[in-house]
Amino acid sequence: MKRFAIVLTIMALAAPLTKAQTSTWTSDPAHSAVEFDVTHLSLSNVHGHFGKIAATVQFNEGDITQSSVHATIDVIGVDTGESPRDSVLKSSDFFNVDNFPTAFFTSTRVVRNGNKLTITGNLTLRGVTKPVVLDAEGPTGPVAGMDHKPHSSFSATTSISRTAFGIASMFPAATISDDAKLTIELEIIKQ
């Protein structure tokens, strides 16, 4: 009888640990994007987006601080809707895609702030790594996709200094704003 009680106690203690296990989610490339905005001549906002994003989220529902994000962003696919401008953005003065075709983000800390998340991590862009902080909403409640797997999503924003990453350093902020706003829309699929 004592053994049975001990086994039941161990099972009861292990049950919360089972619920708090980390699950792996990967981005859905057809429904995920990284967009950017910069101000031109202090007059207008120029919008663009990068190519595909491939992200892996290790999600721990029981303890969000044990979650992590790693993303690879295709910089070669930068697109503002203006081919001549896109060619300039791909040049060595801007993103230098011949030498740095991808950007990377790796989280170092995830914290819940009310209904939002603060995701701190390192962004590597144009071969330069700098810390960034993402203000994120999500994850949304899972929904079954056409693949019969659970899908969820995150939306996140941050601002970076383009000159800190060596992007278009020869242009003053009056020509192209130094602050660039990044918006990340990430639909993820449970693996």
**Band of the pLDDT at 97, cuts 50, 70, 90?**
very high
Q: What is the pLDDT of residues 167-179, one digit of tens each?
A: 998 998 989 999 9
- Is residue 158 within 8 A of residue 136, CB to CB? The reply is no
- Is residue 165 within 8 A of residue 125, CB to CB? The reply is yes
Tell me what pLDDT residue 8 has: 40
CA distance 23 to 118: 19
CA distance 6 to 11: 9
The larger pLDDT score, comparing residue 56 to residue 3, is at 56
Provide the residue type at 152 as one letter. S
Six token digits for residue 36:
């950017």
Region of poorest pLDDT, from 14-23, 73-82, 146-155: 14-23
Integer angstrom CA distances of residue 190 from 49, 153, 157: 25, 11, 23
Integer angstrom CA distances of residue 35 from 18, 46, 185: 37, 11, 8
- Is residue 152 within 8 A of residue 141, CB to CB? The reply is yes
pLDDT at 1 over 60: no
pLDDT at 57 over 90: yes
